[in-house]
Amino acid sequence: MAARSQPLLRRVWQQRELPVLDDRLCTGCERCVGVCPTECLALDGHRPWLPRPEHCVSCAACVVICPSAALALARLPSEA
Ligand code: SF4
Ligand code: SF4
């Protein structure tokens, strides 16, 4: 990717919300992984993580289906 496009890409990412896991609440049921329409969630042991965040469309399907309220959408922290 061209270096000059990186600041724009960073700004776009800072506008997006991505799922964040509360590890204390997750039971490892895997429902969030199964419902993701872009298959960007995967399991690390029994915990979901986001190996392909660029594919996340912030649809919140994983948040809604989680029976433990272990997921929430949150914006990435801004860089100083
Ligand atoms: S917000 Fe939507 S696209 Fe993003 S990880 Fe969750 S289900 Fe997948
Ligand atoms: S749906 Fe919720 S409890 Fe189940 S694996 Fe995903 S985050 Fe954990």
Q: What CATH number has the domain bearing residue 60?
A: 3.30.70.20
* CA-based R_g, the chain, Å: 14
pTM above 0.85, yes or no: no
| Confidence check: pLDDT of 38 > 70 | yes
3-state secondary structure of 54: helix
Q: In this structure, is residue 41 part of a structural domain?
A: yes
Give how many domains the chain has, as a whole number. 1
Q: In this structure, is residue 55 part of a structural domain?
A: yes
Protein residue with its CA nearest to atom 4 in ligand 1: 56
Relative to the CA of 57, which ligand 1 atom is closest? 3
Distance of alpha carbon 32 from its chain centroid, rounded?
A: 10
Protein residue with its CA nearest to atom 6 in ligand 2: 32
pLDDT average, residue stretch 21-27:
96
- β pairing state of 47-49 and 42-44: antiparallel
Q: In this structure, is residue 34 part of a structural domain?
A: yes
Q: Cβ-count burial of 46 within 10 angstroms (0-12 exposed, 13-18 middle, 19+ buried)?
A: exposed
pLDDT in tens, 50-78: 998 889 999 999 999 999 999 999 987 66
Domain that holds residue 21: 3-75
Q: Is the CB of 48 under 6 A from ligand 1?
A: no
Task: Scan for tokens 């049921």, then name that residue.
Answer: 29
